[in-house]
Amino acid sequence: DCLKTSFNLKLRQSENLNSDVIMVMEKGSLVRIIAIGHDDYIDGVENNWVYVQPVTFNEQMEMVNSGEDGYCYGAYLEETDLP
């Protein structure tokens, strides 16, 4: 399933706020969840870190990778109508 970022969201090398930032994904960026990480409490919200792959869709509406895998905080991802 494909999710989108609800804010500009940092993609990190590991599942903590002190980890190196790989990139900042713009609000509305699409990701595919690869794995669910550990539970955390950030900005007053409890959720899991998730290991994701940034994605996009080609002209045939096939999901294709669009960046390096990394971790982001799951509270800032939301559902999409995309497969």
Specify which residues 66 forms β-bridges with: none
**pTM for the structure as a whole:** 0.89
pLDDT of residue 66: 81
Q: What is the pLDDT of residues 44-70, one digit of tens each?
A: 999 999 999 999 888 887 877 788 999
Burial (CB < 10 A; 0-12, 13-18, 19+), residue 16, is: middle
Nearest-angstrom CA–CA distance, 76 and 7: 6
Token pair for 82:
């995309």
